[in-house]
Amino acid sequence: VKILLIGFGVVGQGFVELLRDKAQELAQRYHLRPVIVGVATRSQGTLFHPEGLNLSHLLDAAAAGGLRQYPDSEGVQRGEDIKTWIQRSEADVLIEASATNLETGQPALDYCMTAFEAEMHVILANKGPIALAYNELRAAAHMVKRVLRFEATVMAGTPSLALALDALAGSTVLEARGILNGTTNYILTQMHQGQPYPEALAEAQRLGYAETDPRGDVEGWDAAGKLLILAATVFETRLTMHDLQVTGITGITTQDIIDAKQAGECYKLIAHITPQGGSVQPVRLPLSDPLASVSNALNALTLKTDVMGDITLIGPGAGRRQTGFALLADLLVIHRTQAAALE
């Protein structure tokens, strides 16, 4: 399986680390031998090798400042336009793991469409294209009989979308409610342990959960983007941010936390969605609520279904390898689908 990777931040690097560390296991257990033939970033352009880039050299280059640090061995090609690079690659899978834009989904959306035109499968960690243009992507995939996967976009590698879309196929999801942002859940957990907000935020940034500009997380927009993805994919309904009431955690004071604790309750940033609309807002939960025990960077999602009632999934919602794992899981789904098609 030949892979192109766009974006080489925390998630892309986590994925490449997993491929490097699990190469033997993937070959033996799943007969999967992934090869990264190209990596591209917005700031450092494209890198390509038709027989595969060296994974350790890629990780070393990232640690040393970026793709330009990758050694110039024989066969290495650089500096193409990204769309041309996709079209000429003859790769099987495009992985889009660049930074999310929830307003236009670009340029990732164009790259995905270019990949489908080149008859590639597409895996996204980037939330923008799925939140904004899921129907178009699905139609494009269907047209060329290729697979579209996007597990990393909700709850990192915790398989929330595989649960809702694959494992629970045959039931109808009526609504979904959960804790969908790891950064804010980490900050709230720390605040309940007595840390003031600025220190908790700084710690979340130090651990790699929060971005340098944390507004997308702490103002609730990241969780809201995930609700748009659930609406588009699970309810097959296109909602926009205007259909959601979004409040972040920046208004929660130390006194609010003290008051909640004295009442035997705790604050969680709860995301809730139905086919009609949804909300992201801080909610005081009694400690007996199952979501109250979901702490630090864990996330949780409860799906209310027609046949099965409530099904709850709890697991990591952030982290380098935990998000990179989602890309590997999607790659294995594509590999299984191909294997079935070849039988």
The site for a second copy (CB under 8 A) is made up of 18, 22, 25-26, 30, 145, 157-159, 162-163, 166-172, 287-290, 293-294, 307-316, 321-322, 325, 328-329, 331-332, 337, 340-341, 343
Q: How far is the CB of 156 from a second copy (least distance, A)?
A: 8
If the CB atoms of residues 221 and 267 are measured against a second copy, the closer one turns out to be: 267
| CB of 294 closer than 8 Å to CB of 314 | yes
Q: Which amino acid is at 162?
A: A
Q: How far is the CB of 300 from a second copy (least distance, A)?
A: 8
Rounded Cα distance between 222 and 81, Å, is 30
Helix (H) or strand (E) holding 298: strand 298-305
CB-wise, 159 or 214, nearer to a second copy?
159
Considering the complex, state which of residue 99 and residue 292 has its C-beta at the smaller distance from a second copy: 292
Residue 127 C-beta: closest distance to a second copy, Å: 20
Instruction: Give me the catalytic one of 2, 226, 261, 268.
Output: 226
Structural contact between residues 316 and 322, judged by C-beta atoms closer than 8 angstroms: yes
Question: Which is closer to a second copy, CB of 137 or CB of 155?
Answer: 155
The nearest distance, CB 316 to a second copy, in angstroms, is: 6
For tokens 């979901």, what's the residue? 294
| CB of 82 or CB of 291, closer to a second copy | 291
Single-letter amino acid, residue 294: V
Distance CA 14, CA 12 (A): 5
C-alpha–C-alpha distance, residues 138 and 118, integer Å: 15
Q: Find the angle CA(323)-CA(326)-CA(331) to the nearest 5 degrees.
A: 140
| Nearest-10 crossing angle of helices 127-143, 221-233 | 20
Catalytic-residue membership of 261? no
Name the minimum Å distance from CB 94 to a second copy: 19
Which residues make Cβ contacts (< 8 Å) with residue 22, sequence separation at least 6? 328
Q: Which residues pair with 280 in a beta bridge?
A: 246, 271
**Nearest-angstrom CA–CA distance, 267 and 89:** 49
To which residue do tokens 């989904």 refer?
A: 105
Q: Which is nearer to a second copy, 87 or 237 (CB)?
A: 237
**Considering the complex, what minimum distance in angstroms separates the CB of residue 159 from a second copy?**
4
How is residue 5 written in tokens? 């990777």
Token pair for residue 336? Answer: 């299984």
Q: Which residues are catalytic?
A: 226
